[in-house]
């Protein structure tokens, strides 16, 4: 069984992930007070940048004293539920192997994307990009929104994919008119939002029904003549865009790996989240906030290891991502806080769009610079620059050039919510692994455990954490990210074995700080100031 699992990892060495901005519009309308919502938590006091906000008369929204002056956009806090199971579930060997297989596939594909971007040798013939349009979307420029100020909480869910055999985190989204619920993988490593659509000619198994565009009054195909069509890559060979047909849809193709991809129609749709208005801390009523004209892919041919999800929600730096498309509403920053993956269903975490003053006032908040512009080979990823690694207080002797981005696009480090474990380029990984093995002497080494190493038998030792060395990353600008033991050692049940939750990649591949190391840290992505923030936080308390 172990040997077969290892072969499975070797066979699957190819996948990826998804997200950015366009003129979007938000509307508010009544929710049935008796209807239960699958979404949970967002705070939007005095938000002024919704495009065309409408509401019923019983909305207790405030208006600015000077309508001609825009108030500062306030953050939107989405509650992120962790899992659907009622009890904590420790990781098991089988689920870890599958997550590692998915990670290896993803890493290989991310590297291929970088190589293709750098050499301009893509698998398809890309359309000529409308750089002027893409530049406006990246900067958050859009049609001027109608000034409107209101207060409230926007509620959503983000949960772990562990119960579905996935290492990713899932977000509940309502799409269409009337809104229908879909569970999408949250991904900071790609910028296309997409959902499996009817008719589904070739689709993977998902939880719940496929999205049906014919049942939504707000669905709109983007024409192949529309300038926005240049933001996606066409299938190869690309269908001819007939000059006499204004209604011909814009086809897209997005590749994740040798067997993972999505193809369909590029379109716009209304995405809905829940709004709860409050006065002096007392809950008044519930409403829906509808964000219109969100660009997404309506996928009719979809393949890949997506573990029951309906599709992907992109949070990358590219102009198509959900984060980018919300920039005209909430500015250029978003953050999330991922709860412990072993917590039960009563524990939740947050996804926040906009500047979170609570996080900015956190005394343990650190910032490191994001690498962008000409230095970053692909503008979708969030690159950071590692300088050194510290184990048990000792700075390891890893050549600094190991972490550099080379002129041909190889190397570098990204922070990625769609990768489960963390991966460091060789020879850095080998030096890190050797250091841990030299410093851990109390526990018996487990040599026959596949994939991860070193692994140790901690059976009957409840205080094992205190004997595991500390671990931290030092960035090129001096910022330091120290991790708690549970973020870099993973305990597997029922074996009662702990393993270093770090793996190696070839020198030419990316280094990745995955979501396992991000647990119980509030992570902030600020593209305007080009920085990544991180603060140790009990995410359940955010």
Cα–Cα distance measured from residue 505 to residue 511, given in angstroms and rounded to the nearest whole number:
7
SS (H, E, C) 471-484: EEEEECCCCEEEEC
Do the beta carbons of residue 379 and residue 316 sit within 8 Å?
Answer: no
Cα–Cα distance measured from residue 30 to residue 288, given in angstroms and rounded to the nearest whole number:
6
Q: For residue 377, what are the contacts with CB-CB under 8 A and spacing of at least 6?
A: 114, 117, 118, 405, 409, 412
Cα–Cα distance measured from residue 457 to residue 446, given in angstroms and rounded to the nearest whole number:
6
Please pick, among 103, 187, 340, 356, the residue that the annotation labels catalytic.
187
> What are the CA-CA distances from residue 277 to residues 186, 283, 307 (Å)?
26, 6, 35
Most distant CA pair in the chain, distance:
76
Cα–Cα distance measured from residue 153 to residue 167, given in angstroms and rounded to the nearest whole number:
29
> Would residue 416 show up in a list of annotated catalytic residues for this protein?
yes
> What are 158's two structure tokens?
């983000």
Of how many residues is the chain composed?
542
Please pick, among 172, 191, 416, 526, the residue that the annotation labels catalytic.
416
> Would residue 172 show up in a list of annotated catalytic residues for this protein?
no
Cα–Cα distance measured from residue 488 to residue 511, given in angstroms and rounded to the nearest whole number:
15
Q: For residue 126, what are the contacts with CB-CB under 8 A and spacing of at least 6?
A: 233, 234
Write phi, then psi, for 27 (nearest 5 degrees).
Answer: -130, 155
Q: For residue 341, what are the contacts with CB-CB under 8 A and spacing of at least 6?
A: 82, 91, 160, 162, 516, 519
437 three-class SS: helix
Integer-rounded Cα radius of gyration of the chain: 23
Cα–Cα distance measured from residue 97 to residue 201, given in angstroms and rounded to the nearest whole number:
30
Do the beta carbons of residue 267 and residue 224 sit within 8 Å?
Answer: no
Give the active site residues.
187, 416
């Amino acid at each position: 069984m172990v040997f077969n699992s290892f072969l499975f990892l070797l066979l699957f060495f190819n996948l990826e992930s998804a997200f950015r901005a366009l003129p979007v519009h938000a509307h508010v309308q009544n929710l049935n007070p008796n209807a239960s919502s699958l979404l949970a938590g967002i705070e939007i006091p005095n938000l002024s940048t919704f495009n065309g906000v409408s509401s019923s008369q019983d909305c207790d929204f405030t208006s600015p004293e000077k309508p001609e002056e825009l108030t500062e956009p306030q953050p939107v806090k989405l509650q992120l539920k962790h899992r659907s199971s009622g009890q904590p579930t420790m990781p098991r060997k089988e689920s870890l192997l599958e997550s590692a297989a998915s990670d290896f596939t993803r890493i290989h594909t991310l590297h291929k994307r970088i190589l293709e971007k750098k050499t301009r040798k893509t698998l398809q013939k890309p359309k000529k990009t409308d750089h002027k349009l893409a530049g406006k979307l990246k900067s958050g420029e859009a049609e001027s929104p109608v000034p409107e100020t209101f207060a409230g909480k926007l509620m959503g869910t983000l949960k772990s994919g562990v119960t579905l055999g996935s290492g990713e985190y899932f977000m509940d989204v309502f799409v269409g008119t009337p809104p229908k619920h879909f569970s999408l993988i949250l991904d900071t490593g790609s910028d296309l939002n997409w959902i499996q659509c009817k008719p589904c000619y070739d689709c993977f198994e998902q939880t719940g029904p496929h999205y049906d565009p014919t049942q939504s009054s707000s669905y709109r195909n983007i024409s192949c003549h529309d300038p926005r069509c240049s933001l996606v890559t066409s299938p190869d060979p690309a269908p001819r865009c007939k000059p006499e047909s204004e209604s011909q849809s814009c086809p897209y193709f997005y590749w994740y790996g040798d067997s993972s991809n999505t193809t369909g129609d590029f379109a716009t749709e209304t995405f809905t989240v829940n709004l709860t208005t409050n006065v002096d801390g007392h809950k008044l009523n519930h409403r829906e906030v509808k964000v219109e004209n969100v660009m997404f892919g309506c996928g009719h041919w979809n393949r890949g290891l997506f573990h029951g999800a309906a599709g992907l929600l992109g949070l990358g730096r590219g102009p198509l991502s959900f984060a980018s498309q919300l920039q005209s509403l909430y500015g250029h920053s978003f953050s999330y806080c991922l709860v412990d993956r072993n917590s039960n269903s009563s524990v939740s975490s947050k996804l926040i769009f906009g500047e979170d003053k609570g996080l900015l006032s956190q005394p343990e908040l650190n910032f490191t610079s994001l690498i962008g512009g000409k230095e970053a080979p692909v503008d979708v990823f969030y690159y950071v620059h590692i300088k050194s690694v510290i184990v048990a207080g000792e700075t390891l002797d890893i050549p600094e050039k190991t972490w550099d981005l080379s002129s041909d696009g190889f190397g570098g480090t990204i922070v990625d919510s769609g990768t489960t474990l963390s991966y460091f380029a060789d020879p850095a990984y080998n030096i890190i692994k050797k250091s841990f093995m030299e410093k851990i002497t109390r526990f018996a080494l487990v040599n026959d455990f596949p994939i991860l190493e070193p692994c140790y038998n901690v059976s009957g030792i409840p205080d094992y954490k205190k004997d595991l060395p500390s671990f931290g990353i030092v960035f090129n600008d001096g910022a330091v990210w120290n991790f708690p033991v549970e973020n870099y050692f993973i305990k597997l049940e029922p074996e009662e074995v702990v393993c270093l939750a770090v793996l190696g990649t070839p020198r030419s591949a990316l280094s990745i700080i995955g979501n396992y190391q991000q647990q119980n840290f509030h992570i902030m992505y600020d593209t305007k100031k080009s920085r990544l923030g991180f603060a140790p936080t009990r995410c359940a308390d955010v």
